Structure 1
């Protein structure tokens, strides 16, 4: 960016017959800069815009990830887009997010479950001092064994563990390392601070001893014990109602599952976004088969690549017609089957989850076509 006086000097020298090289040597600027002002590509006093490194495809990926995971940190998203080919620095990525009006690095969305029992228990932890417990009492084994759900937040699991053993969350935390108090007081317990990483292994062993559950099972189910480098894209949803019913859980449990997992294949349940009803897919096996096909794609592609291709496929799938008479035959069939199956369970017939589930097999088929080379082999 050059001031108005210097730009006028460039034009004056050029009008006097000076060459671009001579003007650049005389004024100490590059020839490209001189050509920019001579050709009118640059305006005096206005900085030339930087080329955007965040393509529209990656920007749509970021927008969808923020929607699916409300507590996603931009630093974690930066690691995801780097694996998808983003070549800019972290500062450049944050600047691109701000320019596209995506959540900035300090984005802290409101907690939709702030009045839930888990949140109230969390508030009680922050306000209740930890009682002193002698060292000999710091290694008990609770009588009631409570298995964690896949993707369950740490505070949710500790709350269920305490209630099953007729304890308070503070009493459970009192016999655990301080690592747990730090994690549950952080709204995003998936974020691993560098100061907590060395203590993670000991904390996992302490919880395994307390619950009589193996460290492998706890680490696989609870995202709080995963390292940032091991984390794959996650989406916020609620646990399958049949999976929770098998464990004697009556309330909805918020979980973070892999972003590509839309269906509980064991019980054939469509896992909608938080606050939306689940759908029974037993009468539409092709939707569950599409989820299994997406799982197989992960054998050859990264989760970020799968989600990027899936979002591109969603935009390529024809939009849902407004008139029911204009629906393709296979969409109309799936929609009627899903509505008739789930209407008796209180799900409104006009819910968006029906449309998402009905289009899912088409989107996965197109995703596989985008990712798989044309070798004549179906993934």
Structure 2
């Protein structure tokens, strides 16, 4: 097959960009239909902007993309993470599901993209600590929002979050534990089963971020994740500590960390399921069913 020629506008990929996003940006910049780019790299498939899988790709596809863009294969593999799996001759073992963090498909910060000359839609793969652009102080969730100076605790929480990853031997584990922590705060928020002090804090933040009284901010999942993020980071830090699930009263430590009324402990026991990372085969998932020193009723 003939080696493709360099495109008139050979855009560079953005860090951690999705393959579909990059190919569609190449097509837009060169005023070509995306199916033409697909044909030139010979993957035999159509790439939508939010896709990042390697179906139909071979090492030859990477080489053809390199020829189209005037970049070498290692540079493309470095910028487009999913290509690394294809280029790795001996892939590493897949980590356990409990240690595999969720990767989101997130729009690149509009201000970061503009600084690189990108003005169209670009989508990248992000992990929990990358949901905030520290440089431009923007939340990069479902829709991008500037972070108000009144909500600077969100920035402080993100700095702590990034520091937690840097100080951990396995950076994947804190990201996976963040998923567990996010599930806990989401349940406390959505079911109104969380401590009253946290519910008031979250409601105040929602009103600050969404003063429009005609819409209910409690239905906006992006806002909910944003207002609960500082507490989610605290829970992630607690979950990252070594502990014995039988002898370590995790929820009592939660109360101490948040400065909550100790009388809220029974409610937390009722409405909180221990994350899988804290369980062992002999430990029930619900803390209210097993407490240190309790006797079996069987």
TM-score, normalised to structure 1's length?
A: 0.47
Secondary structure in structure 2 of the residue aligned to 1:319: helix
Structure 2: give runs of 5+ residues left out of the alignment. Answer: 95-99, 244-298
Kept in 1: contact 2:38–2:47 (CA 8 A)? no
1:334 lines up with 2:199 in the alignment: no
TM-score, normalised to structure 2's length?
A: 0.58
Secondary structure in structure 2 of the residue aligned to 1:256: strand
Instruction: Work out which of the residue numbers 152, 162, 170 in structure 2 matches 1:302.
Output: 170
1:27-66 maps to which residues of 2 (within 5 A)?
Answer: none
2:240 aligned residue: 371
Name the Cα RMSD after superposition.
Answer: 3.9
1:291 lines up with 2:162 in the alignment: no
Tell me by how many angstroms 1:361 deviates. 1.1
1:225 aligned residue: 83
2:7 aligned residue: 142
1:313 aligned residue: 181
1:273-292 maps to which residues of 2 (within 5 A)?
Answer: 276-283=142-149, 284-292=151-159
Tell me by how many angstroms 1:373 deviates. 5.1
2:53 aligned residue: 190
2:66 aligned residue: 208
**TM-aligned CA distance change 1:203 to 1:172, over 3 Å:** same
Kept in 1: contact 2:106–2:123 (CA 8 A)? yes
1:25 aligned residue: none
Kept in 2: contact 1:260–1:306 (CA 8 A)? no
Kept in 2: contact 1:260–1:303 (CA 8 A)? no
Q: How many residues align?
A: 222
Distance 1:207 1:225 in 2: 11
Max Rg structure? 1
- Measured against aligned partners, the alpha-carbon deviations of 1:241-288 in whole angstroms (never above 9, x if no partner) come to 33344455555444432355322333222222xxx4222224223213
Instruction: Work out which of the residue numbers 258, 261, 267 in structure 1 matches 2:127.
Output: 258
Structure 1: give runs of 5+ residues left out of the alignment. Answer: 1-132, 375-379
Kept in 1: contact 2:202–2:228 (CA 8 A)? yes
Distance 1:166 1:311 in 2: 40
- Measured against aligned partners, the alpha-carbon deviations of 1:171-197 in whole angstroms (never above 9, x if no partner) come to 434543x3x335849x9643478xx5x
Distance 2:52 2:143 in 1: 26
Tell me by how many angstroms 1:225 deviates. 0.7
Kept in 1: contact 2:35–2:46 (CA 8 A)? no
1:154 aligned residue: 19
- Measured against aligned partners, the alpha-carbon deviations of 1:154-173 in whole angstroms (never above 9, x if no partner) come to 23322221221233334434
Instruction: Work out which of the residue numbers 221, 246, 256 in structure 2 matches 1:352.
Output: 221
